[in-house]
Amino acid sequence: MDEIKILKQIAEGDAEDKKCVVKLLDHFKHAGPNGQHVCMVFEYLGDNLLSVIKYSDYRGVPLHMVKEICFHILVGLDYLHRELSIIHTDIKPENILLCSTIDPEADARKSGIPLVLPTVKDKAVPERPVEKEKPKSYTYSADLTKNQKKKIRKKAKKVEGSEENERDSSNSEARPNGNATVERLEESSERVKDAENVSQKSRGNRRGSQSTRQKLLADVDRKCKLVDFGNACWTYKQFTSDIQTRQYRCPEVVLGSKYSTSADMWSFACICFELATGDVLFDPHSGENFERDEVYISYVISHTL
């Protein structure tokens, strides 16, 4: 209900829909066999920024596109911070959605599928023909340098050795609403696997697929919106000191200090780097003698010296 209160405040101050923040259209309660559920209805949006990074083959998006995307993110953050005193607390690529899909054919609004699917009991609505679902797949180009391949192998060993430690420690990092904090270890593994799949693709197919992805990415509308306010709070009313996904967590939160709207700006800067390069800026892993927070702080220090 706190999330709904925040979303209502956001919608009321953005009547012209220019603030680059998702709109809550409605909410209702649904009684089911497992109790009562609060449901929220949002506007239809497109792919998230992680999909944009995938379409770029983890090599980075052209800088003019990065600037356009970042402009809209900053419009949303300025609105939240300066006008509403709201801190998002979980800014990351998955929580920023384009206003349209990268692939126009994947837009459900253009598919002709009815908004409410018919049930077995609903005989008044004719059954629609079963269509084969197009598998969503990403292929990645193989023209990697020796240094890039070496880096991939190094990452693979690091991820492989720390998976067990990550699973053990993930339970200790809880989000304010009770869900486990989304860690990006799996995403790191996925990036390594994606890049390693390069050698398994034929050069002819690879070029065609890469050019298609690049064209789709170049033609996409770069307007985007901030979403997922499940962990959001006000500057004057905060719910927890444990905020942000690990790779986008600001130093003051890692150190257990007070935080404010600047926490979102730190996450935003990390996203700028990730969009431009295709790689996360900070991705710490614990070792035998060091915990993840210690490794993270050492990364921050080394990057600022």
- In this prediction, residue 217 carries a pLDDT of 82
- In this prediction, residue 165 carries a pLDDT of 52
The partner residues of 30 in beta bridges, in order of sequence, read 37
47 and 97 Cβ atoms separated by less than 8 Å? yes
Residue whose C-alpha is closest to residue 60's, from 280, 270, 295, 277? 277
How long is the chain? Answer: 305
The partner residues of 24 in beta bridges, in order of sequence, read 42
The domain locations on the chain are 46-104+135-304
Residue 184's CB is within 10 A of a number of other CB atoms, namely: 20
Catalytic residue among 57, 90, 103, 264: 90
- Looking at residue 244, its amino acid is Q
Backbone phi, then psi, for 152, in 5-degree steps?
-65, -45
- In this prediction, residue 104 carries a pLDDT of 82
pTM: 0.70
- Looking at residue 85, its amino acid is S
- The CATH topology of domain 46-104+135-304 is Transferase(Phosphotransferase); domain 1 (1.10.510)
**What does each of the 305 residues of the chain score in pLDDT, given as a tens digit?**
999 999 999 999 999 999 999 999 999 999 999 999 999 999 999 999 999 999 988 999 999 999 999 999 999 999 999 999 999 999 999 999 999 998 888 788 777 777 676 776 655 555 555 555 554 444 444 556 666 666 666 666 665 555 445 444 444 444 444 444 445 555 555 555 555 554 444 333 433 378 888 888 878 889 999 999 999 999 999 999 999 999 999 999 999 999 999 999 999 999 999 999 999 998 888 777 888 888 889 888 887 76
Q: Coil, strand, or helix at residue 154?
A: helix
Tell me how far apart the alpha carbons of residues 193 and 152 are, in angstroms, rounded to a whole number.
Answer: 9
Is 90 a known active-site residue? yes
- In this prediction, residue 9 carries a pLDDT of 96
- In this prediction, residue 216 carries a pLDDT of 85
- In this prediction, residue 168 carries a pLDDT of 47
Helix axes 146-170, 185-196, angle to 10 degrees: 150
182 and 245 Cβ atoms separated by less than 8 Å? yes
94 and 186 Cβ atoms separated by less than 8 Å? no
4 and 38 Cβ atoms separated by less than 8 Å? yes
